[in-house]
Amino acid sequence: VSRARSARGRGDELREELLDAAEELLAEHDDERQVTIRAIVERVGVTPPSLYRHFRDKRDVIEQVVARRFLALGAATMAAAEGPAARGEAAEALRAGCLAYLEWARENPGGYAVLFRVRRDTELGLPEGSSGSVAFDGLREGIEACQEAGQARSADPHLLAAVVWTSLHGLATLTVLRAEFPWPDLEVMVDTLLHGVVGTPLP
């Protein structure tokens, strides 16, 4: 594949095209290792060294894609919780957000795993608000809304949100990774979790 030469000042276009290609490859292959620099640039129609004008190294490329996907994950859960929250149904909003989180992880198995596979010492490079904290804040606010509505126990919302978040993460990863395990129904597990930990009424 070949490609028309870019004019001066149009370097950002290639950068976006490379990110798009990396995101596509990640979605297709479900496995970080299959997403090679050479596959990315070939898809765009450019040679490997061109990529290094826009990204420091391969890790940098993956990190940028991860940042994008975190925003999408946060948006998906927010969108699901929005309706019930507007109607004042705090517990239902929390439940809908949690289920949307799990559904997103299920539909993006490779992508979801990659979000958390980034090494500790490199995460600082992520732009503010994309390291999962937006989604976490939304979760904590959802729990606080339940408390104010008298639909949750009165414990430290940060503690409850942390327990629910880690549990959701475990559900998201294990149910995909150990697909052959005799899992109980996902909704039942979420309800067990929210009812037990947060204290929301069972639906």
Only segment of 66-74, 93-101, 142-150, 162-170 that touches its own copies (CB under 8 A): 162-170
Among positions 37, 39, 75, 189, the unique one binding its own copies when judged by CB under 8 A: 189
In the range 114-133, which residues lie near its own copies by CB under 8 A? 116-120, 123-124, 131-132
Least distance in Å: CB of 52 to DNA?
Answer: 5
List 2, 8, 182, 202, residue binding its own copies (CB under 8 A): 182
Q: Which is nearer to its own copies, 149 or 162 (CB)?
A: 162
Closer by beta carbon to DNA, 7 or else 86: 7
Q: Tell me the closest approach of the beta carbon of residue 83 to its own copies, in angstroms.
A: 26
Q: In sequence order, what DSSP letters do the residues of 128-144 get, joined into one string?
A: TT-SSHHHHHHHHHHHH
Contact yes or no for 157/147 (Cβ under 8 A): yes
Q: Shortest distance, CB of residue 22 to DNA, whole angstroms?
A: 10
Would residue 129 be called left, alpha or beta, if left means φ above 0 and alpha means ψ between -120 and 50 degrees? Answer: left
Q: How many residues does the chain have?
A: 203
The answer to whether 178 contacts its own copies (rule: CB under 8 A) is yes
Smallest gap from Cβ 203 to its own copies, in A, equals 16
Only segment of 72-80, 88-96, 141-149, 172-180 that touches its own copies (CB under 8 A): 172-180
* Neighbour tally for 198: CB within 10 Å: 24
123 HSE (CA, 13 A, CB side): 13
Q: Which stretch binds its own copies (CB under 8 A): 12-20, 49-57, 64-72, 158-166?
A: 158-166
∠ CA(40), CA(45), CA(46), 5° rounding? 80
Helices 133-148 & 157-177, crossing angle to 10 degrees? 120
Q: What are phi and psi of 100, to 5 degrees?
A: -65, -40
66 binds, among DNA, its own copies, none (CB under 5 to 8 A by kind): none
Residue 199 burial by CB count (10 A; 0-12/13-18/19+): exposed, middle or buried? middle
- Does residue number 200 form part of the binding site for its own copies (CB under 8 A)? no
Quick one: DSSP state of residue 118? S
Site for DNA, rule CB under 7 A: 2-3, 5-11, 14, 36-39, 45-50, 52-53, 57-59
With binding defined as CB under 8 A, does residue 57 bind its own copies?
A: no
Task: Check: CB of residue 17 under 8 Å from CB of residue 44.
Answer: yes
